[in-house]
Chain A
């Protein structure tokens, strides 16, 4: 398994998960869920600017802002209800691991990153698909913006 193209911050998060026992990994995901910031006002008041990721089990809305060339830094914004902590946790991991990175680095993130958190058994593969879908949607939106 290559980690060469996993951005440093995301790699660090993966290591944090891997260092824990399964119940503690769930607790860490819950921490990410709790720490997911609210949307800034410009989106909070304009839900129509957000896009729903329908593949997630619970409603998750996301949007992003892509900065100027040459770096084209990507900023991510997520919204999911408090009643959907797993979805919020996935969003929190991606936010902390990817926010602010150049578009090219986000596009290079391996698609199997969600599987590397070591949560698949505890969360089940079906639920992990929600996180893969979020990552897929982020990449797609970057490509569409090019």
Chain B
């Protein structure tokens, strides 16, 4: 069973208002049958310092990624994870997290790979909940294990691999990293550890729209009008566009994927999770340095020629 949507005026402007809930809605619905609240943070211990009462934790690194291959867990792994968190296939899942829901959006995107239908974000995330002085607890929730079916992961609609991106060149690409990562001045976020990209720059023709521009000061998503101004007017996206977003490992671009798909209603948006830590290391892929998007490399126009890399 799923819960009704949050009837906020702000949300009604978005393409899919049912994908967001406000802190007030969450407070009113805590404990409702069919609702599971999930916290997903960058810091692996943040949940333990205090969380929304009843919320379970999902760690992107240790629980959503495969331990060996650079990939996500498979259908059986996801079913086990969901069951252990008390999530059923028809649960309404509300995810929130730190840093303007950056990791929460990433978790939501992984839920989407498995077609979990009713998964929403808490607008403003953990910070807004805390700032409003709402209830927090360190009590571990009592989770009644659920049954979750084994659903095969379906990557194609929302996930792009390196070869897909090569074939995509000529269609809109959004680079959501910081300005210095885009130009190639650096290969990691300011203040973040070096994760080993050998080359700096961006994928040819990609437009730079740092992910955080979609978030307001308080961590909530910007209004429909503000988002339209950024992504349509400024970045030039149009209805019907086939869009690929990328960052460094696919987490920041999950946030942009959420904005484009659920708030602005673009129907074909994929997240390239290999992102710069793959592209910036791959052999013979085209790279552009500097602040201009750059043109298409001659040999890859209109074809799916893959470089000599494995997927």
Contacts and interface: CB of A to CB of B under 8 A. Distances in A.
Interface of A: 26-27, 29-30, 33, 52, 54-59, 82-87, 89, 121-124, 126-127, 129-130, 133
B61 A86 contact: no
B193 A133 contact: yes
A30 B45 contact: yes
Contact of B49 (A54, A58, A85): A85
A93 to B, nearest CB: 13
Q: Which 10 A-B pairs have the closest CB atoms?
A: A85-B45, A124-B61, A55-B193, A86-B45, A86-B43, A54-B191, A85-B49, A129-B193, A30-B48, A30-B45
Contacts of A33: 45, 49
A51 to B, nearest CB: 13
A33 B193 CA distance: 21
A44 to B, nearest CB: 21
- Which among A29, A59, A84 has the greatest number of chain B C-beta atoms within 10 A? A84
A27 B45 CA distance: 9
Contacts of A123: 44
Contact of A85 (B43, B190, B191, B194): B43
A130 B193 contact: yes
Interface of B: 42-46, 48-49, 61-62, 98, 190-195
Contacts of A56: 191, 193
A54 B192 contact: yes
Contacts of A30: 45, 48-49
Nearest to B45: A85
- Which among A56, A59, A83 has the greatest number of chain B C-beta atoms within 10 A? A83
11 contacts: A54-B190, A55-B194, A56-B191, A57-B42, A58-B43, A82-B49, A84-B46, A86-B43, A122-B44, A122-B62, A129-B193
Contacts of A52: 191
Contacts of A84: 43, 46
Nearest to A127: B44
A89 B191 contact: no
B61 A127 contact: yes
A62 to B, nearest CB: 14
A78 B156 CA distance: 46
Given A58-B42, A133-B193, 18 more contacts: A29-B45, A30-B48, A33-B45, A54-B190, A55-B194, A56-B191, A57-B192, A57-B193, A59-B191, A82-B49, A85-B45, A87-B43, A121-B62, A122-B44, A122-B62, A124-B44, A126-B193, A130-B193
A124 B62 contact: yes
